[in-house]
Structure 1
């Protein structure tokens, strides 16, 4: 038994014991998403249109992730709608930013690891950077969308006598707390990942100006900003769509 299989079994047992049916669904969705990600990489390597592959694959990953939470129909539909909207908006931001930042591809610090390997691939590095940047934001978007959508529906059920404006107002406070927690999660994940980069820059005696102009640092910061932007956008769109849905239903 390899270490990967042993860790996967431990993860499976813990998720089932702690999360029950939802934990089992999350574990299954994890491996399905791995399979979808492998299909995305394969299709892009076969020169399929990377943006169509990215949109379809990203939509599938969001759908699987949100459905696996086991939420009710209203929460799931609201979270899916918001996630798709935010994903499209982020793509509109990521595409020009990645081209203007010139942060795609391998940096000078990667040269030693790339010795003996061919860089003659059929996909531009800028396109790969766009795909990687968007895929890195999907988990944070789905998590925030489900949490806020579930909170709004819980408020609606717990306060049936409250009008829509009161629920929206209460949802704003709840959403700010959820967004703050999600942003902190993304930030600490970035800081943990940047630890190895900071050690590398320190060993190479880089100045602050040199650090800010390296591809490794720029791509890491941009990835962080995309994730934070996606999480922040979830709140207003969730409130807007929730208000519109309940207004149309006359509730």
Structure 2
């Protein structure tokens, strides 16, 4: 058994022990998302329109991440709606930023690896960069949406008579904690994945201007900014959608149904 397979087995066992049924579903969510990413890469290499693939696979990945990783249908539904809307907004923002950044393609660091190979394989590198950025932000947006919806739903269950304004206020308080943890996770993830590259820049005496114009660094920094913006937008939208969806009118209808039963 290889090291990767051993780690996958350990991950499956731990997620089953800790999360039970939800942990098992979350594990399969990770596997399905991995398969979807491989499928996207294959379809892009076959020449399928990248914009169409983005529109198709955004909802597919969100459904896999949210509905398989959440046991409560109300939380999953509200999380999906808010995450999908935020993804569409962020996708438009990403497309504009990538157009002006002009950071798509291969950097000079990959020169030695590609000696003798064609660097013009007939692929749309700018759209590939857009796809990579969008799919990189999906996880952070979905995680923030689920965290917001779960917290607000628990507040509503324990205090059914809470007003919409109070629920929105509670959502803002929860959002502060969600933003703090999400931003730290994203930033430390970037630092951990780029530590070797940062050391390379330092040892080769790169100037600040050279670092800021490196394609690898610019693309990674842009993805971090997209993820942070997506999380920031997710907090108020999730609060608004859940508070509207569980308004007093909806609670009265539910109480009437329970009285009839």
TM-score range, shorter chain: over 0.9
CA distance in structure 1 between the aligned counterparts of 2:76 and 2:38, rounded to whole angstroms = 25
The count of corresponding residues between Structure 1 and Structure 2 is 251
Tell me what 2:228 maps to. Answer: 228
Q: Is the 8 A contact 2:163 2:248 kept in 1?
A: no
**Residue 248 of structure 1: how far off its partner (Å):** 8.4
Deviation at 1:94, TM superposition (A): 0.6
8 Å CA contact 1:133, 1:223 repeated in 2 = yes
2: CA distance, partners of 1:106 / 1:179 = 33
Quote how far apart the aligned CAs of 1:122 are. 2.5
Map 1:3-22 onto structure 2 (within 5 A). Answer: 3-22=3-22
Q: Is the 8 A contact 2:22 2:71 kept in 1?
A: no
CA distance in 2 between partners of 1:121 and 1:44 (Å) = 12
Q: What TM-score, normalized by structure 1, do the two folds share?
A: 0.95
Q: How does 1:58-137 map to 2 (within 5 A)?
A: 58-137=58-137
Q: 1:160, 1:95 → 2: CA distance?
A: 42
The aligned residue for residue 32 of structure 1 is 32
Please name the residue that 2:210 is paired with. Answer: 210
Does the aligned pair in 2 maintain the 1:29–1:68 contact within 8 Å?
Answer: yes
C-alpha distance in 1, partners of 2:121/2:58?
23
Distance 1:249 1:67 in 2: 26
Structure whose CA Rg is larger = 2
Give ranges in structure 1 of 5+ residues lacking alignment.
none
Report the equivalent of 1:237.
237
**Cα distance 1:4–1:127, how it changes in 2: closer, same or farther (>3 A)?**
same
Structure 1 residue 33, shift from structure 2 partner: 0.8
Deviates more, 1:41-50 or 1:129-138: 41-50
* Matches of 2:9 and 2:82, distance apart in 1: 33
Distance in 2 (alpha carbons) for counterparts of 1:147 and 1:183: 14
Q: Is the 8 A contact 2:105 2:125 kept in 1?
A: yes
Gaps of 5+ in 2: 252-261
What is the CA deviation profile of residues 37-56 of structure 1, one whole-angstrom value per residue up to 9, with x for unaligned ones?
Answer: 11111112222111111121
SS at match of 1:129: helix
| 1:155/1:215 CA distance change after superposition, 3 Å | same
SS in 1 for 2:119: coil
> In the alignment, what sits opposite 1:178?
178
8 Å CA contact 1:66, 1:142 repeated in 2: yes
* Distance apart, 1:92 and its partner CA: 0.5
SS at match of 1:162: coil
Are the counterparts in 2 of residues 58 and 135 from structure 1 also a CA contact under 8 Å? yes
Distance 2:216 2:36 in 1: 27
Q: Which position in structure 2 is the counterpart of 1:165?
A: 165
